[in-house]
Every structure is written in structure tokens, then in C-alpha cells.
Structure 1
């Protein structure tokens, strides 16, 4: 078992204690549900923008993006390139809409538009998305800390999760936003520090990285061919646009932040602050992954222990040395990419700086998880409990419910992370799950906002059709060979694209047929 030096442990402990103290500080203000869920509309736009940026810059970015760049290329950076268009649409149409309604929940208006089923369906999709997101983030932070400490991933998730639950429950959305502002700075500095250390330790520096990366096609953004079966440039671009529109336009994590702004202009401004920060920094993480690749190409012997561990994880217990060796030789960089950042930190980063970088990775995880906990608790309390179980609950009862549900969703996120142990790629599993749960939600929102003539029956029918298409695209790949002709042949990232368009276009078609009426 590895053990961190006292200095590193002290840095990590100071960071965790500081986050808990922030929660205690803001707990003094939480005297109402309005303060807990939207900070009484008192947060400046720049702070909200950095908060949204910090939520995007999760441990999936810290570990998954360099792992992808190490194992493949920069194809997934196209996701970030799709962000400005999605932000423009959200700032022009969605943000003013939510500010006008004044509803803290992003899904309340769906009931007014289509009925209670629409609201409940959107809430269910959102909560499932949040569990998938929080689980993948918990898994990512545990993966890196396990490499550094030797402690079990389950234990790490419980310790870190407990700290997150404490400051999120106590502090509410205001604590979440202001801690994320600090975390945004820490994460960004940590990324630059990691890149500096990698480049400094490669003979030839940046020019050598560029030479190796160019020779091995590590900087490619993907094929430009119109092939939707593989992760081409276009597949990731489509996926990125729809997911980013989902995030900025209908995700409670972000919609709730719009309500914390002092006015609509500040709320819209926050989106552009996020985009301006995230796009270049996400590129920085791809550069880190390619630099790691170059580092271990220059020092191939240093990577053997990682390959050995990856091979063991793929084999049954008590496999022979020869079998392990053969499996190691068959591995490709994509098979162990997620392990490279933690491994580099263990072996190459000086004492003291490791604690700082671990704090940066922890802050990447904590910002996303705390945001997910707060927004999930808000949605459940308002859209489920208050709507269906106790409509007459008073302010004191609502505050108690918000505290309890925030903690419960934190525990559920930890449990999901534990269940994810053993997956191959953090980024892949998160992208797939978010695409499945987001597609139906976004399609229904667009139908309600764009087609004002669509009624309840058309929306419900279109949603059922869309959900069936999403289920078929997700699970048909497991059909037996005799039914291979029924399998979905498109890339899994296209699920959110096809699911969204199916609901939206089906709704428009059904509305047109109703308006046309029977021919006499």
C-alpha cells in the first residue's frame, strides 16, 4: 500500500476542512427555501459563470479527457467546439424564459404546457442523469486517489462524499456557487502545473511532444467522412451540440443558477463566461493527455506497471504469469488511458505539489457532485414531494425536506460510483448514460417551446415513440446474431441526437395531422 507524505496529506486535509467551514459559514443565511435554492437572487454573473465552468470541469475532464487523448486523439474536443452555438441559443431563448416564469424548477412549466405526466417524466430523466453524473465523478476521484494512497475506492468515495454532503446540506446553493468559484481557480492552476511538469521532464520539451503526437496522429479531431457509425468529427459535433443545449437549456443544475443572478442580463452573461473559460481549458487537458503519451513513448519502461495492473484487471484470479504477459502485450493505449494521470502523479510529481494537484482533482469532483445534490434535492422536493405528496407543506417542512433529500442524493451518488468500479473509460460511460437520459427530455422541451399548437395527446404520443427509439438504440446491440438486422448501427453518441429529433419531429407531424383533420 502506498502512503502519502505528511505534507501532501496536510494539504488535502486543509482543503476538505475549508470546504466544510464554507458550508457552516453560509448555513447562517439559510433561513428560507428561496435562500437555499437560489440565494435570493443575489449572486453576480461572473461568479455564476465560474460556477458553471467549474461544474463542466469535473474529474471526468481531469482524468477522462487526458485518458482519451492518451489512448486515441483529440476527437472528443469537438464536444467543446459545439458549446458556443448551444450557449447562444440558451442565452437568447431559454434564460429569458426561465427568468420570466420565476419558477426555481426547470420542469414546472411542462405541467402547465402538457400536463403532470410531462413534468414527472422530465424529472425522472433529470434525476437519473444526475445519478449517472455523480456516480461517474465519484468513480473518477476514487480512481486517482486509490493510485496515490492504496486505499479502496469504496473508502475514498465515502470519505470525500461525507465532506461534500456536509457543506452542501449546510450551505445551500450559495455555498455551492462560491466554493465552485474557488474550485475553478484551483482546478485551472492545477492543470497548468501538471502540463508544466510533464513538458519539463521530456527531453526536447514541447517540440518533442509535437513531433511524437504528429507522427502517431494524436492531434486528429476525427474523420470528416459522413459516417455516423463511428466517433467521427460529425458524430461528436452533433452529440456535443445536443448535450450542451440540454445542459444550458434545461438542466436544473444550470437553470437554478440563472435564478441566483441579480437580473437576466447577468444570468445570460454567466453562460458566456463559462464558454470562454471552458473551451480553451478543455483543450489544455487534451494537450496534457498527448503530452503524457509523448512522455511514456520517450520512457516506455516506466509504463510497464500500469499495463501489468490493467492486464490483471482483465483476467480471472490466479492467472499464470504467461497469461498476464500475453494480455499485457495485447493491450493498446486506450485500454489503460484513464490510469495514466494518477500514475504520473504518483511517480513523477514532487512531494507537496501532489497534495495540491489532488486538491485540484478533488475540487473538480466536489463542485459537480455538490451541484448535482442541490439541484436534485430541489427538483425532488418541489416537483415530486410538494406536488404529489404534501402540497400544503409549510416553509419549515420544506427546508427540512431539502436538507434530508440533499443528503440522500449524495449517498445515492456514492452508491452509483461504487457500482461503476471496473468500467473501462470514465468519459465513455458518462457520455453514453447522459445521452440515453437526456434525449427524451430535450426533445419534449423543444416541442413545448417551439410548437405552440402541440397539445397534450401529441406530446405524449411523440414522447412514447421517442423513448421506444432510445431504448431500441441502447439495447438492440445485445440482440442475438439471428436478429442482427434489428441492431442499431449508429454510434452510441447518436442516441441523444436521434432521441431528441424523434420526439420533436413526431410531435410536429402529429400536430399537423390533427390540424389537417379528416377529409370530407
Structure 2
């Protein structure tokens, strides 16, 4: 990185932190600190919701996912628009009517305190882990590529977020996320434009799409029912809908974004805005990854994009075997390049696919050698593809901007998570289970301390986390283990009035144990865990209630909600 890149990166990040701190100074009461004063407009809600989900993992992992596997990952988001409509019609009106600070307050009025507390704890476990990963993801990649100290990076990212999140609460998160999304969109569009400019003369965008299509990277839809395939139309519409319903409808990091809305309509418009824009945004990010793939058809690419892997091989006894694989890889690149310069035809498509398959096998052999050289080095290089392109091909200044994109995304997601973790801890655990006889100022102060505490914990998780497979999948796996169960609890509360509190509480514990076992033995793809968890808790609770129909349920008391 050059001096100009450091200047661009530093100014961008400092502006976000200082702007968020200044804009939201003086939040004195719980309403202002946790719900942002209930004056947020729909476009701010929409961008905030989007920024909360679109972490640095999205901008690091998704292009790499497309580079290796094509556009099929976009199917993961097919259930999102459906979930947005359901949440707008069911969840938002109930939350606003009851004037809750957190989603879990409703569960006490519908069931009892222990059910509310259990659900809040499930959220805190999974979101607490995820907060650490959203810091760890960009830190480990930037550390490997730039040579920066990993622990230092984790601390810097975490502290930057803690500063303005502690200072301004929910409003600080929302106002800074607008700036972060502007930086993110600008950076990704510039990167996409430059990739196309870097392609050889005569290789237009349409020709690049033909090359990607011939290389089997443009297959968007998969209608197969193969359970070994993680991303199909069915997993997207079925498993994805359950995941998105639970995430956007019951996860406090998202619920808190639209609870700050000026009205029900503003909150609904914000979610619809997110539902309409999110799938095209993910499609575009994947398309950036596909264009990076096309770029490397005309330019040399490493056998493995993780610099640590190259270092491990260089110091091992397998260096000669690895160099032999590199030579095979280079020969295939030269053959493909000469073939593609004449354009894609029916005659050379089969040959191109054959060469791609040979190159894939060479890369897999390289991974085995890397693993033999150092078992602690990550061989899956999906998360390093895009950052490698940025650092080795973009001009001065733009490298700093794209790194700011990655770090801004990390900060936006982490800020939302810390804000939600602190609110849930303060309102659902501390205020409800420890003390409810304190002033507003006391709970604002405690929320700030909880934000600091969760921020420190997230940094610690980031410092001890281990990277495996693809980062974006890791976050979704953690969510899928818990989200289905939580969603099922809420659906029971909304629609199954005959089910009482004890039945739900017991069913939730049994379901969580089963889901963890199913995930551990790898019985189902992780997206299906959402539907399984939701269905299980509803079924088990209904059965238990049928066995013990005499249990009474507390009456819904709207006046007590939020107190």
C-alpha cells in the first residue's frame, strides 16, 4: 500500500467514527438510546437493515464464492423478499402496538418470563459469536495479505466500533450506516468498472459473460433436490425464507433497526426497500467475482490466493512438488488465453470446460500439499481472491478506498450487533431479572457498559477464532443452528394461542439439543436446520400441550410491555 492509500483509508474510517459520535451525542434516556428517538425515516431504516446484514464477510467472501463456484449462491437470498412481506404484515404491527424495546419482551406477555429469558439468551449466544466473526473475518484476511498483526487488527476494528456505538446507541449505528453504505456501493461499482477496463481489447462485457457462461459460472438456478447441494432454488425459497424470517423478524440486531422507525409505515417501507434491493445487490457482488474470474483468464493467477499458504510451502519439503503443479497451472493458463483471444465458439467451449476441470484438479492437489506442509494454514482461498485482485491491480488511492469498503462493512455489522446485544442484556436480562427500580439514566449508563463489555468479548472471540471453509457460510451456519428454534417460538406466540408457556419452554430446550446434534453429525445442509428447528419446536410444544392441556397462560397485558 502506498501513502495515498493510507490517507484515503484513515480519513474514511475516522470520518465515520467522528461523524457518528458527533451526530448522536447526548442520548440521555432509554427511548433515545435504544430506539433512536423513534424518528428514523424509511430510507435510513432500509440502508441500516442492509448494512447490518452486509458485513465485511459479504464483500470478501462473496466474490471469491463466485470465482470458484459461479452465481448459484444468489439462490440463498430468494426467500428474503417473501420474509420481508410476512414481517411487514405480522411482526412490525405487533412490535409497534406493544411499544417494545426488544423483540423478546413480547414473549413474556404471551408466555412468561422464563421463555422470554431463554429466547434472549439463545440470541445472545449466537449473535455474540457472530459479532466476533464479523471482526475476525476482515482482520484475518487483511493480516495475511498485508502482513499486519492479526491481534492488533482485531483490536483496532473493535475499538473503532465501540467508540461511536457506546456514545450514541441505536441512532449512532443508523446514521453511520448510511455513510458506510455509500462508501460500499461506490467502491464496488468502481471495482466492477475497472475490472472491465482491464480486460483485453475486444473482450466486451457481453463477451466476458460468454466466457463466464462457457466456464459454467453463470448458472443461477438449480432445481435439483440433492441434499448435498447447499444452494438450490428450494433451499433458497424454503430454508432461506425460514432463515430470513427468523433473522429479520426475531434477531434484535435487525429488529432494533426498524423499531426506531417513525411509524409502522416507515418501518414497513424500510424493509420492503431492503427486500427489493438486497437480491440485486448480492447478484451484483457475485457478478464482480465472476468478472474477476474472467480477468484471471487473461492474467496470471496464483495456484492458491492465500499468501500464508505460499509461505508454508516455501518453507516445506513439498516445495518442488508444488512448483511442478504451478508449472502445469501456467501451461493451462497459456492455452486458455490463446484460445479465448479468438472468442468463445461452440467448438472450443467443451475444450475450455475440460481445461477448467484440469486446473481445478491441480488446485485441489495444491491444497493437499499445503495441508501437509502446515495443517494450521487455511487451504480454502475463497476469502482471499478479491483482496488479492484489489492489492495487485487497482491504482493508488483506490486500494485504500476498497479496504475502507471492507472495514466499513465490518464496522457497520459489528456496531448493529453490539448495539443489539447490549439492548437485550440491559432490557431482557438486567432490567427484568435483576432490577427494575432504577432511573432512565441508570439504564442508559448500563447499556453503554454492556456495549463496552460485548465489544471486548467480540474482540476476544475474534482473537481466538479459527477460520474454516468460507466465512460467509460460517456466519450463516451459526445463525441456522439457533434461528429456526427462535422463529418457531415466535410463530407459536403469534398463531397458536392454545400452546402455553411451559410447553414452549420445554420444547425449545429439546429442539435446541436436537438441532445441535443434527448439525454436529452433518445430517442436513445447514440451511435446512432453520426449517427443521422451526417445525420441531412447534410440533413438540403442541404435543406437550396436548398431553398437559390444563396449564394456564398469562393474559396479554399490553400496558406492561416495555416497562
Both proteins in one fold, TM over 0.5: yes
Equivalent pairs, count: 501
Q: Deviations over 1:266-291 (max 9, x none)?
A: 11111011122222111101101111
Distance 2:6 2:55 in 1: 22
> In the alignment, what sits opposite 2:334?
none
> With structure 1 as the length reference, what TM-score do the two structures score?
0.91
Distance 1:192 1:274 in 2: 19
Question: In the alignment, does 2:213 pair up with 1:179?
Answer: no
Contact 1:59 1:364 in 2 (8 A): yes
> In the alignment, what sits opposite 2:527?
493
Contact 1:37 1:104 in 2 (8 A): yes
> In the alignment, what sits opposite 1:393?
438
> In the alignment, what sits opposite 2:94?
97
Structure 2 CA distance for partners of 1:109 and 1:464, relative to 1, 3 Å: same
> In the alignment, what sits opposite 2:7?
10
Structure 2 CA distance for partners of 1:326 and 1:35, relative to 1, 3 Å: farther
Question: Out of 21, 28, 31, which is 1:31 matched to?
Answer: 28
Contact 1:312 1:324 in 2 (8 A): no
Distance 1:163 1:279 in 2: 29
Contact 2:16 2:179 in 1 (8 A): no
Distance 1:383 1:84 in 2: 30
- Secondary structure of the 1:65 match is helix
Structure 2 CA distance for partners of 1:147 and 1:208, relative to 1, 3 Å: farther
Structure 2 CA distance for partners of 1:28 and 1:516, relative to 1, 3 Å: closer
Structure 2 CA distance for partners of 1:450 and 1:238, relative to 1, 3 Å: same
387-396 vs 47-56, which moves further: 387-396
Structure 2 CA distance for partners of 1:305 and 1:79, relative to 1, 3 Å: closer
Contact 2:145 2:307 in 1 (8 A): no
> In the alignment, what sits opposite 1:455?
500
Distance 2:460 2:509 in 1: 30
> In the alignment, what sits opposite 2:352?
none
Contact 1:50 1:274 in 2 (8 A): yes
> In the alignment, what sits opposite 1:134?
131
In our comparison, the structure showing a higher alpha carbon Rg is: 2
Question: In the alignment, does 2:198 pair up with 1:170?
Answer: no
Contact 1:147 1:342 in 2 (8 A): no
- Secondary structure of the 2:40 match is coil
> In the alignment, what sits opposite 2:355?
none
Distance 1:62 1:241 in 2: 22
Distance 1:319 1:165 in 2: 45
Structure 2 CA distance for partners of 1:348 and 1:384, relative to 1, 3 Å: same
Distance 1:72 1:119 in 2: 41
Contact 2:12 2:404 in 1 (8 A): yes
> In the alignment, what sits opposite 1:217?
216
Per-residue deviation, 1:327: 8.2
Question: Out of 119, 130, 150, which is 2:147 matched to?
Answer: 150
Q: Which stretches in structure 1 are left out of the alignment for 5+ residues?
A: 478-487
Moved >6 Å (runs of 4+): none
Per-residue deviation, 1:377: 0.2
Per-residue deviation, 1:389: 1.9
Question: Out of 442, 447, 469, which is 2:487 matched to?
Answer: 442
- Secondary structure of the 2:65 match is helix
- Secondary structure of the 1:104 match is coil
208-217 vs 220-229, which moves further: 220-229
Distance 1:423 1:469 in 2: 23
> In the alignment, what sits opposite 2:117?
120
- Secondary structure of the 1:298 match is coil
Per-residue deviation, 1:349: 0.5
Distance 2:533 2:304 in 1: 42
Structure 2 CA distance for partners of 1:291 and 1:159, relative to 1, 3 Å: same
Structure 2 CA distance for partners of 1:456 and 1:422, relative to 1, 3 Å: closer
Where in structure 2 are the equivalents of 1:357-376 lying within 5 Å? Answer: 357-376=402-421
Per-residue deviation, 1:335: 2.7
Contact 1:23 1:166 in 2 (8 A): no
> In the alignment, what sits opposite 1:322?
320
> In the alignment, what sits opposite 1:43?
40
253-262 vs 263-272, which moves further: 253-262
Per-residue deviation, 1:330: 4.2
> In the alignment, what sits opposite 1:331?
364
> In the alignment, what sits opposite 2:391?
346
Q: Which stretches in structure 2 are left out of the alignment for 5+ residues?
A: 327-361, 368-378, 552-563
Distance 1:506 1:326 in 2: 58
Question: In the alignment, does 2:303 pair up with 1:273?
Answer: no
Distance 1:326 1:476 in 2: 38
CA-atom RMSD in angstroms: 2.3
Contact 1:29 1:35 in 2 (8 A): no
Contact 2:16 2:180 in 1 (8 A): no
Where in structure 2 are the equivalents of 1:105-116 lying within 5 Å? Answer: 105-116=102-113
Per-residue deviation, 1:211: 2.2
- Secondary structure of the 1:430 match is helix
Distance 1:151 1:281 in 2: 30
Structure 2 CA distance for partners of 1:346 and 1:406, relative to 1, 3 Å: same
Contact 2:240 2:527 in 1 (8 A): no
> In the alignment, what sits opposite 2:295?
295
- Secondary structure of the 2:521 match is helix
Distance 1:308 1:38 in 2: 44
Per-residue deviation, 1:92: 0.4
Per-residue deviation, 1:225: 1.9
